[in-house]
């Protein structure tokens, strides 16, 4: 069974990255197995491997630090109230199909959202999980020898939403970010989101 590790304390982005890199190395060299980290980060903006800062609206005056990373995609925000998941999976026995991996993550999150009372789905030609034109979860993945790292960020509470005004999320103009709390119309406990996501990720 896929190991799901929930880290209950807020994690600095650099520390989360080190956890991933160590897990990837262990899986590549055969000393470790597949796993998923679930956590909340301390506030941080991240940009993808292209180092494109065009989606940072005022890079010199951002309220939180910026971390360059080796995932795909453009700028996004991580912080309290957002459940971040890092699946460390070997895609070779899964056909080395990155697009299928992305769709599988989306499917798992869509099912988890339904458990939390929110009907979500996809948008054509766009990665992520959506409610109409509002983005509920962002996904960005990196690969090393066909082992995946990075993953998804699911907005659970409204606390994580204000920081998104400082960026163009994922480089998509006109996109409004939303949360499970906003869509459900009542608070969603992080513990409930963790439980729902954990159950669905076991099918990856």
Which two structure tokens, joined as six digits, stand for 31? Answer: 């000393």
CB neighbour list of residue 151: distance below 8 Å, 6 or more residues apart: 36, 84, 85, 86, 87, 105, 139, 140, 141
Active site residues: 170
Low-confidence ranges of the chain (pLDDT < 70): 48-63, 67, 71-73, 169-171
For 3-201, CATH number out of 2.60.40.10, 3.50.50.60, 3.30.930.10, 3.40.710.10 equals 3.30.930.10
* Separation of alpha carbons 105 and 3, rounded Å: 16
According to DSSP, the residues that pair with 136 across neighbouring strands are: none
Sign of the torsion formed by the C-alpha atoms of 172, 175, 176 and 180:
negative
Which two structure tokens, joined as six digits, stand for 59? Answer: 């890079």
* Separation of alpha carbons 156 and 13, rounded Å: 18
According to DSSP, the residues that pair with 67 across neighbouring strands are: 46
Q: Where are the domains of the chain?
A: 3-201
The shares of helix, strand and coil residues in the chain, as percent rounded to the nearest 5, are 30, 35, 35
| The Cα angle at residue 152 between residues 138 and 63, in degrees rounded to 5 | 65
The residue behind tokens 């929110």 is 118
| The Cα angle at residue 32 between residues 106 and 67, in degrees rounded to 5 | 55
* Separation of alpha carbons 173 and 150, rounded Å: 23
Query: Whole-prediction pTM value?
Result: 0.93
Report CA-CA distances (Å) from 54 to 45, 51, 66, 168.
13, 9, 13, 8
CA neighbor of 179 nearest in space, from 37, 106, 57, 83: 83
CB neighbour list of residue 57: distance below 8 Å, 6 or more residues apart: 165, 166, 167, 168
Which two structure tokens, joined as six digits, stand for 181? Answer: 């709390």
- Classify residue 56 by its DSSP letter: B
Sign of the torsion formed by the C-alpha atoms of 203, 23, 52 and 155:
positive
């Amino acid at each position: 069974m896929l190991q799901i590790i929930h880290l209950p304390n807020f994690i600095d982005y650099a520390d989360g990255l080190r956890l991933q890199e160590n897990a990837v190395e262990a899986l590549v060299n055969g000393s470790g197995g597949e796993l998923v980290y679930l956590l909340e980060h301390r506030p941080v903006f991240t940009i993808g491997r292209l180092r494109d800062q065009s989606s940072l609206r005022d890079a010199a005056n951002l309220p939180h630090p910026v971390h360059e990373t080796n995932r795909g995609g453009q700028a996004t925000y991580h912080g309290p109230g957002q459940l971040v998941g890092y699946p460390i999976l070997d895609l070779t026995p899964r056909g080395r199909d990155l697009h299928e991996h992305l769709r599988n993550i989306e499917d798992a999150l869509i099912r988890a959202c339904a458990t939390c009372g929110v009907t979500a789905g996809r948008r054509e030609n766009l990665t992520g999980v959506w409610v109409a034109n509002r983005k509920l979860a962002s996904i960005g993945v990196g690969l090393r020898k066909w082992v995946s790292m990075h993953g998804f960020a699911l907005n659970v509470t409204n606390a994580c939403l204000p920081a998104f005004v400082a960026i163009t999320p994922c480089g998509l103009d006109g996109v409004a970010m939303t949360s499970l709390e906003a869509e459900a119309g009542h608070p969603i406990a992080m513990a409930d989101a963790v439980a729902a996501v954990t159950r669905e990720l076991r099918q990856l």
